[in-house]
Amino acid sequence: MTPINKSALWKKRLGDWVLNPYVGCEHGCKHCYCPAMPGVKFSNHGRTQEEWGAYLYPKDNLVASLREQLRNFTPDKANVTRWGDGWLLMSFLTDCYTPAEAKLGLTRECLKLILEAGHKVRLQTRSPLIERDFDILRAHRDQVLVGTSLPYLSDKLARVLEPRAPSPKRRLRMLEKAVDEGLEVYVAIAPFMPFHDRKEVDKVHEVIRPLQPREVFCEVLNPKGKNIEMMRSALKATYPAHYVRLNNYTLEYWAKFTFKVLNYGVKEVNRFIPWPDTQQLWRKHLQAAQVKFLESYLPEELRTV
C-alpha cells in the first residue's frame, strides 16, 4: 500500500497529493458522490451507494507504510503543479475526522509524520474532532490549511441530507476556533443546491467573512451515481418543494445553474474560486461566452477554446 498518492484534485486547486486513512465515511451525506468513485468502489467490499455512511474500513498498516514512504517522499521530490501548489489533501474519498478516528487515531498519527517531514497539508473535514489535533497544527501552522464544506447554513436541512455529520453551525464554530489558534482557513460552498438561490451564497459569505478565509471554493450539486435519487428520498417528507426541484434537475438545468451560481460568486464573494466540472458536460448547453467563463477556471491543458 502507498498511503500518499498523486491526486487529480490539483484541477480544483486543492492539492497535488492525497491521503485517505479510511475507505468509507460515517457521515452518510446523501449528496456525496464519493461512493460512486472508483477509489471507493474498488475497496469497499461490494457495499452499495445506498449504504454510504454505514461502513468504514481503516486502512491496514497505514502508519507504518506512511513512515516508510516518507523516507524517500520528501517535499523537494514532490511534484508541484501550478494549480495544486504542492498541497497534500486529507482527505477526499472519506472524512479523515470521521467519528471512528476519535478511537483509532490514524489521521493524527499520519498528520504528525507528514508535517514533521515538511509537507504542506490541506485538511478538509466536516468534523470538530479536528480540534483535538490543534496542538499539532499550531506547531506547524505555516504548513497547514483547515477547511470545511458549508453548502448552506440550515442545521435542519443538514439533518436530512447529512444525517450523521456535525451541523453547519458547529462546523462554523470549528473554523472560528481554528482562526483563534492562528490557523489559516478556507471554505467550500459545496455542493450548492439547486433548490437554493444566490441569497444562500450571500448568507454563507456573510458568516465566513470575519474569518478572512484564504479561499472560498464553490461547486454546484454534481449528479453522480444514485445521489440525486437518495436526496429525493430523504427530502420527500420534510422538504417537498426541494424534492420537486430535484425531479427537474436535468443535465441542461445543471449546466445553466452551474454558470449562474459560479458567475455570481465571482462577482460577489472575496477570494471565490469556481469549481466547474472538469468533464465539461455543461459545454453543449451553454452559450459561447458562458463556456469561455467556466473554462477560465480550468487548468489550461483542459481548455479547448
Taking each helix axis as running N to C, give the angle between helix 227-235 and helix 240-247, from 0 to 180 degrees, rounded to the nearest 10: 150
Buried b or exposed e, range 41-54, using 16+ CB within 10 angstroms:
eeebeebebeebbe
Residue 65 forms part of a structural domain: yes
Residue 291 forms part of a structural domain: yes
CB 40 within 8 A of CB 93: yes
The number of domains in the chain is 1
Domain CATH for 180: 3.20.20
Q: Cβ of 238: how many Cβ atoms within 10 Å?
A: 12
Whole-angstrom Cα distance, residue 118 to residue 135?
17
Residue 170 forms part of a structural domain: yes
| Mean pLDDT, rounded, for 2-8 | 93
Q: What is the pLDDT of residues 139-182, one digit of tens each?
A: 999 999 999 999 999 999 999 999 999 999 999 999 999 999 99
| pLDDT over threshold 80, residue 114 | yes
Residue 157 forms part of a structural domain: yes
| pLDDT over threshold 80, residue 15 | yes
DSSP state of 164: T
Give this prediction's pTM: 0.94
What is the extent of the structural domain holding 291? 5-300
